[in-house]
Structure formats: structure tokens, C-alpha cells
């Protein structure tokens, strides 16, 4: 059954015990293939506490210190984003097993795990390359990873009034947004925070970025789509003299006057897709397009 020995790195959601059930099916399936299983340390310790695992994995790793043929993300899209951050420039393909809710990234259902793993061993899958963006702050280091698969957002703090965001594209002045924030999203992130603020849905292989304001003060300000080889420069003014930068949802506080630069990262994240999956059918299903609520 097994054509070759393969290594799998497992990441999961260690915050919600009810979502840990799928890992048993995943591990059992991998063991039948005699795969080498490596588990992210926080997730492994969680599984041990929950008495979900009763075997010794091939290894337990920290941060991005692993080598594998595939990464398995067990959870929702948030778990997938954290796994993607840890994969970084390794180019290891990621399989998302959906134990969450919406699941645009983690789109293998728990009942499809066995089929999906079998397809990996048979080589019957496709790999999509998804663009990543990075942020740099002039004169002030940003803690943690500067890379985002979904989006980078500049936001006012909870107790602050709206902020002013002077925006330039490739050195050319665009506009100064008076708003609660500004979202720079990749095509992957176009169905996330940007969408909830009125941004467009962008197909994954489009080479674009979208700039979407959050609650703009002016009603004639609209989202804009630009080429993904563009460099975006932001200068922020705030009455509280600081603001938040959210990188795939992870927030950091920065001081007013810090000039931000956002550009496409030098690597992409590789996402495994089953050949029976189609983007537009997934979009219809997840967004409930065409559903008649009157019935």
C-alpha cells in the first residue's frame, strides 16, 4: 500500500478540545502507511493532556525546526495560517483538515481524511502557490514574523478615534484614508477580513493585492485592486499617538510616525488541493450563493 516512506509534520488547534477528534483518524491513517509523524510541541502536549494520543511520534519539534514531505494542519483557517507562518519559505506543501467552521484554507473534511492521505501517496493531488506579503517598519522592529498569507491590517486601538493613513503606491501618492483602519489583502485573504469590509473576492491565482478601508469617514472611498509587484507605503497619524498592526490576525502596537512598507514576499505558500475540489463550487458552498432564504 505504501510506495515510499513519507514524513508528515502535524499542527493543530490546542485551544478547543472538541476539535481534537480528527487527529485520531489522521494518525491512524498515517500509521497504516507507516509514515513518520512529527508533531508541533504545543499541539503534542495538548494531545497528551487530552489523552488523544498513546504513541511515540518520530519527533516533536519547536517553531519551524522540522523537515517533512507534507504539513497537516488540523483545525480551522486560523490554525492553517499559524502553520503557514511556521512553514515560511520551506515550500513544504500544506494540507488543511477542516475541524473549524468556514474552511476556505482548511478544506479537507474529517470524513475525507483517509481518501486525501491515500491520494497523497498516489501522487493524485494538485499544489497551488499562494502569494505572501511582508511588512517592514522604518526604525522600529515588528515582533514576530513579518509575513502574512491572508492580510496585513493597520487599525486604530479600541479606545482611540479614527486614524489617518497616508498611502502611496510605488512612491506615488494615492489618498489619505480617514478610517478605523486599512487592510492589505492577498487573493487568499480576499475572502477574510477584507470581504467583511466590502472588499472584492479575488481568485487565488490572480496576481493582485487589495487595499480595503475599515469604516472610512468618507463614503466615496472604496477598495482598490493593484498589481502584487507594487510597493505600498503607509504613514499613520493617531490622536493616541499609536496604532495596531495585525499580521494574519496577530496584533502588535506601533508608535505614530513609523513608516510602514508592504510588499510581496520572496516566497509563496504551497497548498495541496484534492482534484475533486473546484474553487468556484467551494465558493458557492461556503458563501451560500444561490441559496433562497425564503424557503
CATH code, domain with 76 = 3.40.50.10330
User: In the structure, what pLDDT confidence band is assigned to residue 21 with cuts at 50, 70 and 90?
Assistant: low
Please tell me the predicted confidence (pLDDT) of residue 52: 81
The pTM of this model reads: 0.92
Q: What is the pLDDT of residue 19?
A: 60
Q: Where are the alpha helices (DSSP H) in the chain?
A: 21-32, 41-49, 77-87, 113-122, 193-196, 279-287
Residues 189, 121 share a domain: no
Mean pLDDT of the region 74-91: 94
Residue 210 is predicted with a pLDDT of 98
Residue 253, all three cell numbers: 502596537
What percent of the chain lies above the pLDDT cut of 70? 95
**For the chain, what is the domain count?**
2
Residue 210 burial (C-beta neighbours within 10 Å; 0-12, 13-18, 19+): buried
Q: At 267, is the secondary structure helix, strand, or coil?
A: strand
Q: Which one of the listed residues 62, 63, 69, 77 is annotated catalytic? A: 77
Query: Is 144 domain-assigned?
Result: yes
Whether residue 147 lies inside any domain: the answer is yes
**Domain around 89:** 7-125+274-287
pLDDT at 138 over 70: yes
Q: Are residues 121 and 30 in the same domain?
A: yes
Catalytic residue status for 77: yes
Instruction: Kindly tell me if the per-residue pLDDT of 14 is higher than 90.
Output: no
Query: Is 279 a member of any domain?
Result: yes
Averaged pLDDT for residues 36-49: 94
- Res 197 pLDDT > 90: yes
Range with the lowest mean pLDDT among 51-55, 82-86, 192-196, 230-234?
51-55
Question: Can you point out the beta strands (E) in the chain?
Answer: 7-12, 36-40, 59-61, 70-75, 94-98, 126-137, 147-148, 151-155, 163-169, 172-179, 181-185, 208-214, 224-227, 232-237, 242-247, 250-255, 260-273
Both 139 and 247 in one domain: the answer is yes
Mean pLDDT value of segment 71-75: 95
Which of 105-109, 128-132, 234-238 is predicted with the least confidence, judged by mean pLDDT? 105-109
User: How would residue 283 be classed by pLDDT, with cut points 50, 70 and 90?
Assistant: confident
The predicted structure's pLDDT at residue 287? 82
Tens digits of per-residue pLDDT, 253-262? 998 888 999 9
pLDDT of 83 above 60: yes
Average pLDDT, the chain: 91
Q: Is 16 a domain residue?
A: yes
- 23, pLDDT greater than 60: yes
In this prediction, residue 239 carries a pLDDT of: 86
> So what's the pLDDT on residue 1?
42
Task: Kindly state whether residue 294 falls inside one of the protein's structural domains.
Answer: no
When pLDDT is cut at 50, 70 and 90, the band that residue 17 belongs to is low
- Domain identity same for 255 and 161: yes
**CATH assignment of the domain containing 231:** 2.60.200.30
* Confidence at 267, pLDDT banded by 50, 70, 90: very high
pLDDT at res. 237: 93
Segment 8-25 mean pLDDT: 80
**How much is the average pLDDT of 213-232?**
96
159 located within any domain: yes
Amino acid at each position: 500500500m505504501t510506495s515510499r516512506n513519507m514524513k508528515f509534520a502535524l499542527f493543530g488547534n490546542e485551544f478547543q478540545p472538541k476539535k481534537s477528534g480528527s487527529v485520531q483518524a489522521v494518525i491512524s491513517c498515517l500509521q497504516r502507511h507507516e509514515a513518520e509523524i512529527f508533531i508541533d510541541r504545543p499541539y503534542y502536549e495538548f494531545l497528551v493532556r487530552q489523552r488523544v494520543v498513546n504513541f511515540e511520534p518520530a519527533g516533536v519539534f519547536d517553531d519551524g525546526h522540522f523537515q517533512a514531505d507534507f504539513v497537516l494542519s488540523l483545525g480551522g483557517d486560523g490554525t492553517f495560517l499559524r502553520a503557514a507562518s511556521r512553514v515560511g519559505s520551506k515550500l513544504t506543501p500544506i494540507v488543511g483538515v477542516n475541524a473549524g467552521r468556514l474552511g476556505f484554507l482548511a478544506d479537507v473534511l474529517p470524513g475525507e481524511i483517509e481518501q486525501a492521505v491515500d491520494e497523497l501517496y498516489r501522487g493524485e493531488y494538485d499544489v497551488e502557490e499562494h502569494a505572501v506579503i511582508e511588512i517592514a517598519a522604518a526604525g522600529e522592529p515588528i515582533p514576530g514574523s513579518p509575513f502574512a498569507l491572508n492580510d496585513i491590517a493597520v487599525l486604530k486601538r479600541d479606545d482611540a478615534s479614527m486614524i489617518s493613513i497616508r498611502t502611496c503606491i510605488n512612491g506615488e501618492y494615492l489618498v489619505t484614508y480617514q478610517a478605523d483602519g486599512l487592510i492589505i489583502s492577498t487573493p487568499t485573504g480576499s475572502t477574510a477580513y477584507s470581504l467583511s469590509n466590502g472588499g472584492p473576492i479575488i481568485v487565488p491565482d490572480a496576481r493582485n493585492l487589495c487595499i480595503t478601508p475599515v469604516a472610512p469617514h468618507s463614503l466615496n472611498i472604496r477598495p482598490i485592486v493593484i498589481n502584487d509587484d507594487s510597493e505600498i507605503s503607509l504613514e499613520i497619524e493617531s490622536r493616541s499617538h499609536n496604532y495596531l498592526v495585525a499580521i494574519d490576525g496577530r496584533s502588535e502596537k506601533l508608535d505614530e510616525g513609523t513608516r510602514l512598507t508592504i510588499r510581496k514576499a520572496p516566497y509563496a505558500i504551497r497548498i495541496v488541493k484534492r482534484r475533486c475540489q473546484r474553487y468556484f463550487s467551494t465558493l458557492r458552498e461556503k458563501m451560500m450563493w444561490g441559496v433562497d432564504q425564503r424557503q
